[in-house]
Amino acid sequence: MIVEWPVLAAFVPVALALNLTPGADMLFCLGQGLRGGPRAALAADAGIAAGCMAHVTVAGAGLGAVIAGMPWAFEAIRWAGVAYLLWLARGLLRGSAAGKPGRATRAGRAFRDGLVVNLTNPKVILFVLALLPQFVDPARPVLPQFLVLGAVLGLGGFVVNGVVGICAGGVGQRLARSAVAARWIGRTTALILLALAVRLAGLQRS
């Protein structure tokens, strides 16, 4: 077996506790659900999960430690993420200011946004590098163990963030029947994105 059952049994509660802790991914799914409904929230959630697995793969292949040890790479990824979040927020605010409630976010676009937001958060790879090696047996192939543990972590996050997004989507769809409420949903989602951008901009490497 790639990961021994006792190790997996010890990892699952840790992963679940982390999944239930509100963070950037959960807030992003909340915003996508409010604006685009349950389908957009689940698509964004899937994009985030795919980004998480990409981080896990990079970390397991040994490249994560290299990236984490290069200040310029960390900064480049971080500021790219800040710029992308600000760009998304700007689009929502412009639509609200023009009195346009905006169309529901397509699933493909929501997936892309979730993927990019996760990939451009360098804190994720630092987190993976700090957590997963504690449950990895160095005497065995490392990458397969990273992938199994990362899948457990990603699946838990997908379920938890998906529930948050679906619940927000139900509320958002009811409110979206009103043009005024729809504009405020756009502004609220933009504020969530701005808050995530500020949080990422203030991120430190350690």
Q: What is the DSSP string of 66-116?
A: HHHT-HHHHHHHHHHHHHHHHHHHHHHHHHHHTT---PPPPHHHHHHHHHH
For residues 56 and 59, give the distance between their C-alpha atoms in angstroms, rounded to a whole number.
Answer: 5
pLDDT higher than threshold 60 for residue 101: no
For residues 73 and 111, give the distance between their C-alpha atoms in angstroms, rounded to a whole number.
Answer: 25
pLDDT at 65: 81
Q: How many CB atoms lie within 10 A of CB 91?
A: 14
pLDDT at 96: 62
Of 67-81, 159-173, 182-196, the range with the highest mean pLDDT is 159-173
Torsions phi, psi of 205, nearest 5?
A: -70, -25
The closest of 168, 24, 32, 173 to 113, measured between CA atoms, is 32
For residues 194 and 107, give the distance between their C-alpha atoms in angstroms, rounded to a whole number.
Answer: 22
Whole-number average pLDDT of the chain: 87
pLDDT higher than threshold 80 for residue 177: no
pLDDT higher than threshold 90 for residue 113: yes
Three-class secondary structure of residue 196 per DSSP: helix
